[in-house]
Amino acid sequence: MTYDIVVDGKTHQLELTRGEKTWLCKVDGQEIEVDAALTARDVMSVLIGGKAYEIKRERSLQGELHMVIGSARYAVDVQDPRSLRTRRAVGGSEAGPQKVKAPMPGKIVRILVSERDEVKAGQGIIVMEAMKMQNEMKSPKDGRVQKILTAEGSVVNAGDTLAIIE
Amino acid sequence: MTYDIVVDGKTHQLELTRGEKTWLCKVDGQEIEVDAALTARDVMSVLIGGKAYEIKRERSLQGELHMVIGSARYAVDVQDPRSLRTRRAVGGSEAGPQKVKAPMPGKIVRILVSERDEVKAGQGIIVMEAMKMQNEMKSPKDGRVQKILTAEGSVVNAGDTLAIIE
Amino acid sequence: MFKRVLIANRGEIAVRIIRACREMGIESVAVFSDVDRKALHVRKADYAYHIGPATASESYLNVDKILDVARRSQAEAIHPGYGFLSENARFAQACADHGFKFIGPSPESMEMMGSKTRARQNMKRAGVPFVPGSERGLDIDAAERLAEQIGYPIMLKAAAGGGGKGMRLVQSPGELHSAYENARSEAQRSFGDNEVYLEKYIINPRHVEMQIFGDEHGNIVYLGERECSVQRRHQKVMEESPSPVVDEGMRRRMGEIAVRVAKAANYHNAGTIEFLVDEQRNFYFLEMNTRLQVEHPVTELVTGLDLVHLQMRVAAGEKLPFKQENIRLRGHAIECRVYAEDPDNNFFPSPGQITRLISPSGPGIRRDSGMYEGWNVPIEYDPLLAKLVGYGEDRDQAIDRLLRALYEYFVGGIKTNISLFRRILKDPDFRAGNLDTGFLDRLLAKPSNETDPRRPIVAAIGAAIFASMEPKATLPGANGATARNGNAAPRPTSNWRRTARAEAMRER
Amino acid sequence: MFKRVLIANRGEIAVRIIRACREMGIESVAVFSDVDRKALHVRKADYAYHIGPATASESYLNVDKILDVARRSQAEAIHPGYGFLSENARFAQACADHGFKFIGPSPESMEMMGSKTRARQNMKRAGVPFVPGSERGLDIDAAERLAEQIGYPIMLKAAAGGGGKGMRLVQSPGELHSAYENARSEAQRSFGDNEVYLEKYIINPRHVEMQIFGDEHGNIVYLGERECSVQRRHQKVMEESPSPVVDEGMRRRMGEIAVRVAKAANYHNAGTIEFLVDEQRNFYFLEMNTRLQVEHPVTELVTGLDLVHLQMRVAAGEKLPFKQENIRLRGHAIECRVYAEDPDNNFFPSPGQITRLISPSGPGIRRDSGMYEGWNVPIEYDPLLAKLVGYGEDRDQAIDRLLRALYEYFVGGIKTNISLFRRILKDPDFRAGNLDTGFLDRLLAKPSNETDPRRPIVAAIGAAIFASMEPKATLPGANGATARNGNAAPRPTSNWRRTARAEAMRER
């Protein structure tokens, strides 16, 4: 099987072949023999040339995939090379409308702008509260408030779009 | 829903009705209001009139069901009253052939009898080893060894039939 | 001893008190709000009662509801934990009025210590050293005159304050007016009381506090100090005992003054006297906390005592079972407060479901936790999930054991500040004991660079093998695409979008 | 200090040593057999090497394979843990011959202490008190004469023995001949050495042992005693420190004798001198264990020291960092050995998959564990899963904390002896400290009756709600029958069959 795997923004080409007891991995052209064993849910023990790694997989509610090794944490994206171009294109660019999303579940305590307002990049748009802390969600760019999709007092989930800046 | 529930050998009749926030349980005719919440897998928090119980469910490989409350452990059998009679009948009786089963996974180290041998109740049939301990499996009754279903050196699972005494 | 005790709290401290109850043969009564039905303290208690909606003022802060449960459950005493109603003298009084023993000091002691200016006046009389400043709330003119007299920088503080609210640092005369107004209005908003006082600002102070304990028969002892200088936004993050800066002589002087403070307040049960320590190791009384502290475990490990057991015994009328000279400090303990917050993203709160939890144990590790795998951390309460405490023969061993335990600790699904503690514990200044309350902010301003060049490759290999192990990937026709889908989460985010969001956050 | 250490062991002790390595900045090398690929020590180590099939003689006991891994992994030292090769002098010698530091005593010390009769001769010369008996293996005629002289009952023991193998109690002259033959042949089978010696049998003895520690510069200290009288079939089940029967004077006498024993053996690193204590509190040298003991944590909690750290430091040539007068014992610690065995069914071993694991933590609780949820306990090794240790200001508090922690402990899928510890800790004789090596057998002979009349109903309610929550039960057409199926396990067993089996087992 072949994967393109993005680790902390850097793409690695990976070819994986299952051997009798181990896996053969070709990583960016280099061959590595890997003894991998799933020990508990989302916890894999990996031995590479005697070196032992415990790799924990974590998928967040927002769909992010992380690999945690010891105390280091890596943002990982597993991609099929053929569909990569399409996916990249979907992302949109700075030029188009951008969403202000809730980075955490919480309660909307104040909305600082109105629809059609002109805003600067970094300007406060919405104030959220969670766990007794208030945090300001800011505009990602200079532009205009196209839409506000929440109301004061609402409870929102992480990843919910709160406003769109065009 | 109606259940016959056998707890440590004693049968209780249970009628369960789901209320808005709590369950209504009729246990052996007595009505009890129960606030139940599944907290983690197989761990239920139950409140009955303010008293709090944490109930852990455990199903063994051999199919036994236990409820653990604090440090007390109860063998439980959940039965549908209509099929109860049938199931009871399946069990067999002392008169017929009886199985000597492995109570744990382990290795057969010695077989002490041969097929067709006459045996007494309590007589050693097979010696198993697990975790550096040897244990003798004994005949459940006076009778004759009908069949031996394992061999010295074999590794067996818990519940495997090792021999049949007729 | 009490037969049944109600715990008017939640989270790790409720669990900790429930455990003490069970150890002492006392039945525990938990209370819970709507969102806490599945909280760990409800799972562990002998009794549990619902007390209302998530909003604290309608549940954990609601005196009537708590007293009602105490009545219904036939509790004899109430332990308030920390936070919530723990320093509310009216609650302590209401408990007494309704025939429940409040496990803590008398309402009078709490009242006296509750107002910082009143505490100050009482303590001055007892000969306790203070940071130069005003003894009571003052108007802007008086503030101006006093600031001139003791010299800038000065600090404005809310008389009813705490947790950094209503505090303003003033570097020069020109800043005084607007700072005064801001402090006043913030004090009004936060505490309903706009009284503001003024103090000399100590440069690079340490925050050191002394644990005291008194019984109801007039005996008061001190149980050693705690260094609490590792703070972010005036909130403690790590605490240790003993303090790297306190030697035996200073401990005795500080302890004796702390006992004097407690005696002046006619204090009983657990209490803490907070001091500021300047660079010359002079110390100044700051305030008294009239409750059990979050960080009490470090004192427990170093003294070998159980402060919650002691609280119960003293509240039940027993005498302290030891004298000052019997207290034997041994070893060193350090506590990490594990918060649901994202250290890589401006310490944003991170409530949500804990999908995976791997907890450390072993030699020298104590863990007081309110979380479990599968639990949903609610958005309504403070983000303290657990306390991880390392104990060692000396400070170095305590640090090394904590680093080992943090290496084992894994909380999946939400973000926590576990990685922050590794940074702190490896910092040369921390290891040398060079601490002051500005230490953590300075550390956070520096770039973090923990890297192992080989590990990202290992992460990639791990991700690929995980992906290939997914059930979907083994179906006929499976290829890279299916593997990706198998591995992707409910709402896939492209790498670009993730980066964009991270940048947007960094700007704030 | 060493850069890299190989741990020639498995299970909880391998994990405990790996943790110490990480704390000290030493890289750890684990070894594993076929069935241990997923064991916790492999997960936690920095390096891990496969060394062969499950059978210990072809893996953990195979000296060549372990030395080969030490070479390949470039380890500098080898820690043997306990059991396996830990008391094998030839292994210690082979380590030295191949340039690896053996973390333990010298092969010469081990050799001298390995043969009980030789140890006895050496110790006698050092003035160590002994149970009256023979000083070496004897033939049946000599045994007969000596038994007559010191008086029955007497005990026959294998010179190379341990763990109860090759031991026979002889109550009267008539039993001597057959007991002698049995002991001899069991000794031959178990140790390949049929030498048997004889001792006076002490009625109701306590088993008390003294921890000693020596460096390679001639310094030896004692670190307090452990009471190990709670045994089943000569195997320790619980240990505590201090012993309820040892006071300060007795501790000093016993400690000084233990140090004398160690000096006579030119001993360094961790070691334990075992004593029998009779009803008059006389104590007699039993044997020396030339390794770290399973029960070392109770000593660590009471002394505040880390014995594995010390082992590493001493093996690296450092001097002991303290003197005898610096050792300060404080509080009380009790250890429970959690075994995979069924206390309700003749203590049958219970290997298999751990389907659910809820572990205790909190104040005064230390847990050293080799298991995790989802792990399969293999059938090939000893059944020790974890050690739960309670520490308290005094013995009562240690007991109460352990009871609390055991209440929280839940191991699902396999059977463990957790319930046994509750029985022991609640027993009036145990609580009073009235212990001897027959205590546990007497307790087990008594019927157990822990009941709460209301709980079975709660169990029934719980089972019904669990059943009704099963996904199948909520499908259209679901009724009692589906609910039962949903709740039933892969191989349903009727109640009758279960009872029949339980009875069959009880007969054994």
pLDDT tens digits for range C59-70:
999 999 999 999
The pLDDT-based confidence of C52 (bands split at 50, 70, 90) is very high
**Between chains, do C393 and D331 touch, taking CB under 8 Å as contact?**
no
Average per-residue pLDDT in chain A? 86
| Residue-level pLDDT at D478 | 33
Which segment, A134-138, B92-96, C432-436, is predicted with the most confidence on average? C432-436
Which pair of structure tokens corresponds to residue C193? 């009381």
| Residue-level pLDDT at D471 | 58
Average per-residue pLDDT in chain D? 89
pLDDT top residue among D294 and D502 = D294
Q: For the residues D483-495, what does the mean pLDDT come to? A: 35
Mutation to test the A interface, candidates D6, D38, D356, D371, most A Cβ within 10 Å: D38
Nearest to C37 among B37, B40, B50 (CB): B37
Percentage of chain A lying above the pLDDT 90 cut? 55
pLDDT top residue among C351 and A91 = C351
Q: What is the pLDDT of residues D138-167, one digit of tens each?
A: 999 999 999 999 989 999 988 887 667 788
The pLDDT-based confidence of C359 (bands split at 50, 70, 90) is very high
| Residue-level pLDDT at A158 | 82
Closest CA to C327 of C210, C207, C209: C210
Residue B31 CB partners (closer than 8 Å, separation 6+)? B24, B25
Minimum mean pLDDT among A134-138, C313-317, C480-484: which range? C480-484
| Residue-level pLDDT at D66 | 98
Task: Report, as residue numbers or ranges, the catalytic residues of C.
Answer: 291
Strand partners, C348: C342
Nearest-CA distance D21 → chain C (Å)? 9
Nearest to B103 among D348, D465, D496 (CB): D348
**pLDDT of C471 strictly over 90:** no
The pLDDT-based confidence of B95 (bands split at 50, 70, 90) is low
Q: For the residues B3-20, what does the mean pLDDT come to? A: 92
Q: For the residues C149-171, what does the mean pLDDT come to? A: 85
Segment 2-21 of chain A within 8 Å of chain C by CB: 2-3, 5-10, 12, 14, 16, 18
Q: For the residues D249-261, what does the mean pLDDT come to? A: 97
Interface residue A50 vs chain C (CB under 8 A): no
Which pair of structure tokens corresponds to residue B31? 């009505």
Work out the end-to-end distance of chain A between its first and last CA atoms, rounded to an integer number of angstroms: 41
Nearest to D461 among B25, B64, B122 (CB): B25
Q: For the residues C205-229, what does the mean pLDDT come to? A: 97
| Residue-level pLDDT at D412 | 93
**Between chains, do D45 and A51 touch, taking CB under 8 Å as contact?**
no
Q: Running DSSP on this structure, what letter comes out for residue B141?
A: S
Q: What is the pLDDT of residues C118-150, one digit of tens each?
A: 777 778 888 899 888 887 789 999 999 999 999
| Residue-level pLDDT at C419 | 92
Q: What is the pLDDT of residues D476-486, one digit of tens each?
A: 333 333 333 33
Minimum mean pLDDT among A13-17, A97-101, B94-98, C136-140: which range? B94-98
Closest CA to A104 of C341, C229, C99: C341
**Between chains, do D368 and C359 touch, taking CB under 8 Å as contact?**
no
Q: For the residues D354-383, what does the mean pLDDT come to? A: 96
Nearest to C49 among B37, B43, B50 (CB): B50
- Which chain D residue has the Cα nearest residue A43? D43
Nearest-CA distance D198 → chain B (Å)? 27
Residue B30 CB partners (closer than 8 Å, separation 6+)? none
Q: For the residues A91-112, what does the mean pLDDT come to? A: 79
**Residue type present at position D453:** P
Report yes or no: C5 and C312 within 8 Å, Cβ to Cβ.
yes
- Which chain C residue has the Cα nearest residue D326? C330
Strand partners, B59: B65
Q: Computed from CA positions of residues B89, B93, B99, B102, in that sequence, does the dihedral angle turn out positive or negative?
A: positive
Residue C139 has, within 13 A of its CA and on its CB side, a CA count of 1
Report yes or no: D222 and D255 within 8 Å, Cβ to Cβ.
yes
**pLDDT of B87 strictly over 50:** no
Which pair of structure tokens corresponds to residue D276? 């029998």
Average per-residue pLDDT in chain C? 89
Q: Which residues of C touch B51 (CB under 8 A)?
A: 46-47
Nearest-CA distance C367 → chain D (Å)? 5
| Residue-level pLDDT at A60 | 72
Neighbouring chains of B at 3+ CB pairs within 8 Å? C, D
Interface residue D16 vs chain C (CB under 8 A): yes
Q: Which of D291, D313, D337, D401 is catalytic?
A: D291
Which segment, B137-151, C188-202, D28-42, D435-449, is predicted with the most confidence on average? D28-42
**A5 φψ region: left (φ > 0), alpha (ψ -120 to 50), beta (else):** beta
Nearest-CA distance D47 → chain B (Å)? 27
Which pair of structure tokens corresponds to residue C467? 């992906």
Minimum mean pLDDT among C157-161, C363-367, D495-499: which range? D495-499
pLDDT top residue among B23 and A159 = B23
**pLDDT of B31 strictly over 60:** yes
**Between chains, do A83 and C481 touch, taking CB under 8 Å as contact?**
yes
**Between chains, do A52 and D45 touch, taking CB under 8 Å as contact?**
yes
**Between chains, do C49 and B54 touch, taking CB under 8 Å as contact?**
no
**Between chains, do B90 and D494 touch, taking CB under 8 Å as contact?**
yes
pLDDT top residue among D185 and D312 = D312
Do at least 3 CB pairs under 8 Å connect A with D?
A: yes
Q: Which residues of D touch C402 (CB under 8 A)?
A: none
Residue B53 CB partners (closer than 8 Å, separation 6+)? B45, B46, B47, B69, B70, D458, D462
Q: Which residues of B touch C43 (CB under 8 A)?
A: 39, 43, 45, 52, 54
Which segment, B2-6, C44-48, D500-504, is predicted with the most confidence on average? C44-48
Which pair of structure tokens corresponds to residue C170? 């003033």
**Between chains, do C19 and D392 touch, taking CB under 8 Å as contact?**
no
**pLDDT of A140 strictly over 50:** yes
Q: For the residues C326-339, what does the mean pLDDT come to? A: 97
| Residue-level pLDDT at D225 | 98
The pLDDT-based confidence of B81 (bands split at 50, 70, 90) is low
Residue D454 CB partners (closer than 8 Å, separation 6+)? none
Exposed e or buried b per residue across D215-250, where buried means at least 16 C-beta atoms within 10 angstroms of its C-beta: bbeeebbbbbbbbbbbbbeeebbbbbbbbbbbeeeb
Q: For the residues B45-50, what does the mean pLDDT come to? A: 95
Element (H, E) at C113: helix C107-114
Nearest-CA distance A79 → chain C (Å)? 6
Percentage of chain C lying above the pLDDT 90 cut? 76
Q: For the residues B26-40, what does the mean pLDDT come to? A: 94
Which of helix, strand or coil describes residue D102? strand
Nearest-CA distance D161 → chain B (Å)? 16
CA C183, CA C255: separation in Å to the nearest integer? Answer: 32
Strand partners, D241: D333
Q: What is the pLDDT of residues D48-100, one digit of tens each?
A: 999 999 999 999 999 999 999 999 999 999 999 999 999 999 999 999 999 99
Q: For the residues D4-27, what does the mean pLDDT come to? A: 98
- Which chain D residue has the Cα nearest residue C402? D23
The pLDDT-based confidence of B62 (bands split at 50, 70, 90) is low
**Between chains, do C45 and B39 touch, taking CB under 8 Å as contact?**
no
Percentage of chain D lying above the pLDDT 90 cut? 75
pLDDT top residue among D6 and D114 = D6
| Residue-level pLDDT at D505 | 36
| Residue-level pLDDT at C483 | 34
**pLDDT of C493 strictly over 70:** no
Q: For the residues C254-275, what does the mean pLDDT come to? A: 96
| Residue-level pLDDT at D402 | 98
With a cut of 0.90, is the ipTM above it? no
pLDDT top residue among D191 and C205 = C205
